[in-house]
Amino acid sequence: MPNNDTPLHRRFLGDELDVEYRARPGLFVKWKEWNASISTRFYAVLKLVKILSSMWLSSGLEVYRDIPSLNQLVSRWCPTTHTFLTNWGEFSITLEDVYTLLFLPICGTASIIAPLSDEEKSLMSSLKAFVESLKKNKKQFDLPDWIRHFHKEDGRDLVELATSIALWLSTYVFHPKNPRTVQSDVFPLACKPACGQQIPLGALYLGTLYHNLDSLVLEVNSKGTNMTSTVDACFLQMFIWERFTKLSPPRKCLNSDNPRPWSWARSRPKKSVKLCDIIDNVSEFTFRPYLTNTYIYFTLDLYPGGVASLTEDVCLSLDISPGGIGFWFAICLPRHILYFLDNAKSASWSFTVYRPGHVARQFGFDQHVPHH
């Protein structure tokens, strides 16, 4: 593989990496109150497009970041395969992880790259007009300005809904390089759910996370280890705790209506175990952490009754009706996924490779060959 694609653990020990991982953005002025108001007044449409729970989750999720573990995990990332490489094989972040831990929908009723409908174009024009009136002579504007405006005006229309979705996408989903500004490129994306169209935000989030991990590895290999990353470190921390239970703190007991990620909120990691000590031991990795748990928001039943080899015959025989194992596996098995490219001058969309076939055992397929 190219030198810049070399996983970092081939060149650096985890303790030698010096990467600054940003925390999830804090609660901006009036954001929690505004988010609660939006969720109440636009409950039906947010539930229809499957982002109600995810927006609600953004109001209070605070996850402690264990920097040594994050460095050890990131050091195993391979941009060529989009998997973490270990002595026993590969594992990766999949759409299942995104769906379960962030509640972002992984399928949709509309394409994000399709032209806007007349209703969406009208909403887009109104949203741009609002932004221009707010910016006035400023080159940029802070997120609290958005919230203060509607808190004062109390606008009860689709412009307010689209504005709140655009703010949420920019701040909590795509993690821009400047965390206190809103990318205008997400406006078309915000208008679709505001008009009742469900879009596959989970795939967009995962593609962007892949891209950010790729960029981190490439930059460290070419420039050195002292850098700041836009990788969603809090999500990666939850991923580590779900997959490596020996590292995870005691899971908080939640009520049945609480989301699964809150079981990790404000938890401190165990100091007696390091990820580098267990990551190469296959028995320490939990392939299917979401099968059963007493305290979870919902049950994610993605798996067949037993382990099967992922042959062509098996793929053809899977039940692809909604809710069937074939349906979920097909949803989780696209060849490419879009990602949000946050450039210095503008943002754009591009495609990156998604290879869940490399980690089929995480979906309940391909039994591991035991060591002798």
DSSP state of 132: H
Contact 169, 204 (CB under 8 A): no
Element (H, E) at 337: strand 336-342
Distance CA 303, CA 309 (A): 13
Rounded CA Rg of the chain: 21
Q: Which residue has better confidence, 137 or 337? A: 337
CA distances from 44 to 38, 124, 154 (A): 11, 21, 19
Burial class (CB in 10 A: 0-12, 13-18, 19+), 72: buried
Instruction: Note the pTM of the prediction, 2 decimals.
Output: 0.83
pLDDT in tens, 198-229: 888 988 899 999 999 998 898 888 877 777 77
**What are residue 227's phi and psi, to 5 degrees?**
-160, 165
Structure tokens at 87: 């002595």
Tokens (6 digits) for 278: 């267990």
Distance CA 236, CA 242 (A): 10
Q: What are the respective helix, strand and coil percentages of the chain, to the nearest 5? A: 45, 10, 45
Among 302, 301, 291, 333, smallest CA distance to 315 is for 333
What are the pLDDT digits (tens) for 151-166? 444 444 888 899 889 8
How distant is the alpha carbon of residue 335 from its chain centre? 18
d(CA 304, CA 301): 9
pLDDT digits (tens, 9 = 90+) for 252-288: 776 666 778 888 877 777 777 889 899 999 999 999 8
